[in-house]
Structure 1
Amino acid sequence: MRTRYIAALSLIGMGAGFITTLFLPDHPAVTLLKGGFEAGLVGGFADWFAVTALFRHPIGIPIPHTSLLLKNRDKIAKSLISALENELLNKESITSKLKKFQLMRIVGSAITKAASKRSNRTGVLRFLQKLLVKLPLGALVPHVQAAVVTMIRESDARPIAEKALNAAIQERIDEQALDYALREGSAWVDKPETGRMLGAMALQKLSEAKVGGFMGFAVQAFAGFMNEDKLGPMIQQLLLSGIRDLMEPGNPNRERLIAELRQRLRHVAQDEAMLERGKIWLEAKAAHPDSERFLLQRLESIRESLIAALDKEIDGGGKKVVIALRFVIRKLQAEQETTDAAERKILSAVADLVETNHYRIGLLIKDNIDRMNDKELVRMLEEKIGGDLQWIRVNGALCGFLIGLVLTSIQLLS
């Protein structure tokens, strides 16, 4: 080490100066220098002995109270561990430091800065693409299917049915379903073949009707006068007119029909037996192998759509990543209390984790120290703190020289 050579040179310089003054003629200046070099030599040797005694026996002689670090390596290790556990890593000190650590702001700033670079945005998107491509959907599907079956089995069907019914009524889905059925029915009724079929059915039922007296004569006369080509269009027009009335908003018949429909739906939503049968049917369908294939197809389709969307976003430079990030930041800023609470929980969890496991750090330190032999330990300590300690030797030699000058001056003046 460079400082060791400087310390050695300071000691050699003092010794050389002292020897030189022995051969010079008597003179007050020589006497003064001799006293300074003598005291500097003594101070340099004394500090060399003190510094060396920390790491090893000076000159290899086992002088008492030398090689202090090696003799007290266990005590030093225990002291380091104790200081680490009780002073540096206790919960109070950790908590006080973490309170000053604004986690969300630092993380948000780092993410925002990273997202400002196009290469980072596209890199994240490509990483997500690779994850999607490598995602084992075949192995994932059984778990998804099992989760769906469990959810159906353990769910309470009645609250779900009532909530779904209320939502459907509020969104007027029941009316939309009725209008759809009426439109489809109207399209079917308006077909020519439907008219012929209705005419034929009506004539057949008229001929089968057993009505006596004048009414029977009238029915038979009407049946004889009509045929399916005449009767069918007539029935079609009647049905189409009725359907149009039911499709007209505010029509009394429509309102009564919707009210009856809703009443029936409410009855179904409260029928425990029917809901239980529905649950059993849904559970069986969800557990069927066809459902597994259906889930796999849907997941594959979703994956392809996501990969295509990510490709498009990569070509665009990942601008939507910035938009999404800004949206999240605005949401977090709007929910400042929630964000602060989350930050406190995270920092508290970190503090608890460190406090719970800081003894492991101590054990690691002790284990590493125990693994080192004496030579390795001394070399490591000298590399870390030996340089600063060598300056003690330099300061000792210089201070001794100055003190020697002062003491010799006093002797000359007395």
Structure 2
Amino acid sequence: MSLFERSGLVRLNPAQGGVRGMRIMATGMLVAMAALFLIANSLDELYPALGFVKAFAEAAMVGGLADWFAVTALFRHPLGLPIPHTAIIPRNKDRIGEALAAFLRDNFLTPSVVARRMRKLDVAAGIGRFLASPPAEGRLREGGSRLVANLLESLDQEKLGGMVKGAVASRMRAMEVSPLLGQSLEAAITDDRHVPILDGIITWAGRTLDANEDMIRAMVHQRAGLVMRLAGLDEKLADGIIDGLRRLTIDMAVDEHHPLRAKAEEGLAALATSMQNDPDMRRKVEEWKNEIIANKAVTDWADGLWENARAGLLKAARDPDATMAGKFGEAIRQLGETLQQDARLKTAVNQFARRAAVGFVASYGKGIVTLVSDTIRSWDTGTVTGRLENAVGRDLQYIRINGTLVGGLVGLLIHSIELLV
């Protein structure tokens, strides 16, 4: 290691790039001024005009050395000497960390500050513009698609599918469906949306009667007595039963005010009330629900639903252009336009974003401040010095260069005034 490196005049570190070049330049100017002073000092008796050069070089050396000392004293002891009030940054590392943490807390991580700044941001409009006119290509889009695809492919398909299906099943078991079904049925009856259901049931009953006419006749024949069969009355009885049932279904289908339809509606209304208020009925509905969830057919359906969803997500992630060109892309673009145009929706989204940011800062702001302070405190002095010096090193070397030049000009001015006086 050279004398200049040990002294702090020059610290050759290839990683510092431009900082190293500026440090060499500032040191080179100081060395040049020293050489110029020696030359002018040895020849000023022969050439009096060199007095100006001598004065310039002498003052430039003083200014350059003073600024070198000031810059070096920030990061280390000049020439390795333990001069008081030098190596300021290493000695005050912890205080710098606390000051930086306090700056972050007071200017960025205070709920009131975040809320005030978030009021000036139109988050909804920004999201809307991005969704309405998504970039045709870019690192964000490509990286996001690649990340989603890799994530889906890397996860264990059976375990992930089992987790999803288990979560859905657990959610369904935890949700009591009886009151919900009762409310839905009650709302349907109120809006007469149950009428097509009754019509469908009546039509189904008529078709079932026609399809099973032979079975009804056989049942009547088997249960009729010997005398009725010998007299042929069983056929007439069967005809009467079938005709009566057929006429009943036709009358119910034609007459909306048929007494049996009214009874059916009363039964549906009672069922809706029972599913909402009767504990026994609610318990039975829950038992039926759990049996349906445990049914193999439902499990197979959930398997297929998950596989289709996973395949769709993978396809969309691998080919975002095709996805954005379809109905999904159109829906996304429409959402983006709505976010920009709908004032109520925009206000709601911005309020949500503001509350989320304020809530995050309120919950984690203190932890972030502590993390910054503790991280800086845990760094060794060499790390702190190196990082700060790399951040502001070029400007500090400009201070040395300017100090050399300004010092020389001041020396030249003083020499001129001395000659005039």
State the TM bucket, normalised to the shorter chain: 0.7 to 0.9
Determine helix, strand or coil for the equivalent of 1:152.
coil
- Other-structure match for 1:51: 71
- Note if 1:395 corresponds to 2:395: no
- Choose the corresponding residue for 1:17, options 15, 25, 36: 36
Contact 2:56 2:412 in 1 (8 A): yes
- Choose the corresponding residue for 2:114, options 90, 94, 98: 94
- Note if 1:174 corresponds to 2:193: no
Matched to 1:249, the amino acid is V
Matched to 1:389, the amino acid is L
CA distance in 1, matches of 2:25, 2:97: 31
- Note if 1:246 corresponds to 2:270: no
- Other-structure match for 1:348: 355
Which runs of structure 2 are paired with 1:181-330 in the superposition (5 Å)?
Answer: 181-189=205-213, 191=214, 194-195=216-217, 198=220, 204=225, 207=227, 227=232, 231=236, 235=240, 238-239=243-244, 242-243=247-248, 245-246=250-251, 249-250=254-255, 255-270=258-273, 275-288=278-291, 291-306=294-309, 317-318=322-323, 319-329=326-336
CA distance in 2, matches of 1:136, 1:280: 32
CA distance in 2, matches of 1:142, 1:299: 10
Query: 1:304-338: per-residue Cα shift (whole Å, max 9, x none)?
Result: 55467679988993223213323434554675413
Contact 1:90 1:355 in 2 (8 A): yes
- Other-structure match for 1:211: none
CA distance in 1, matches of 2:236, 2:194: 42
* Same amino acid, percent of matched pairs: 25
CA distance in 1, matches of 2:293, 2:415: 107
Pair 116,32 (structure 1): closer, same or farther in 2 beyond 3 Å: closer
TM-score by length of structure 2 reads: 0.75
Determine helix, strand or coil for the equivalent of 2:375.
helix
Determine helix, strand or coil for the equivalent of 2:175.
helix
Query: 1:234-278: per-residue Cα shift (whole Å, max 9, x none)?
Result: 537843762574265248xx7233223223433444458995443
- Other-structure match for 1:103: 123
Pair 317,127 (structure 1): closer, same or farther in 2 beyond 3 Å: farther
- What is the alpha-carbon root mean square deviation over aligned residues? 4.1
Pair 334,275 (structure 1): closer, same or farther in 2 beyond 3 Å: farther
- Note if 1:369 corresponds to 2:393: no
Determine helix, strand or coil for the equivalent of 1:94.
helix
CA distance in 1, matches of 2:99, 2:183: 64
Query: 1:159-217: per-residue Cα shift (whole Å, max 9, x none)?
Result: 4553454466554312321222123223433x4x6456557767x49x57xxxxxxxxx
Alpha-carbon offset, residue 398 of structure 1: 0.8
Alpha-carbon offset, residue 103 of structure 1: 2.2
- Other-structure match for 1:162: 186
Matched to 1:181, the amino acid is A
Query: 1:348-406: per-residue Cα shift (whole Å, max 9, x none)?
Result: 32133235433333333333333333344333332222321122221111111111222
- Note if 1:42 corresponds to 2:45: no
Alpha-carbon offset, residue 7 of structure 1: 1.1
- Other-structure match for 1:214: none
Larger radius of gyration: 1
Count of matched residue pairs: 393
- Note if 1:76 corresponds to 2:96: yes
Pair 136,54 (structure 1): closer, same or farther in 2 beyond 3 Å: closer
Deviates more, 1:309-318 or 1:351-360: 309-318
Contact 2:275 2:282 in 1 (8 A): no
Query: 1:9-49: per-residue Cα shift (whole Å, max 9, x none)?
Result: 11112111111112213444222222222221221222222
- Note if 1:2 corresponds to 2:5: no
CA distance in 2, matches of 1:274, 1:33: 106
Contact 2:55 2:412 in 1 (8 A): yes
CA distance in 1, matches of 2:363, 2:195: 54
CA distance in 2, matches of 1:273, 1:77: 62
CA distance in 2, matches of 1:305, 1:56: 65
TM-score by length of structure 1 reads: 0.76
Pair 8,258 (structure 1): closer, same or farther in 2 beyond 3 Å: same
Pair 232,346 (structure 1): closer, same or farther in 2 beyond 3 Å: same
| Unaligned stretches of 5+ residues in structure 1 | 209-222
Contact 1:198 1:232 in 2 (8 A): yes
Pair 237,49 (structure 1): closer, same or farther in 2 beyond 3 Å: closer
Pair 21,99 (structure 1): closer, same or farther in 2 beyond 3 Å: same
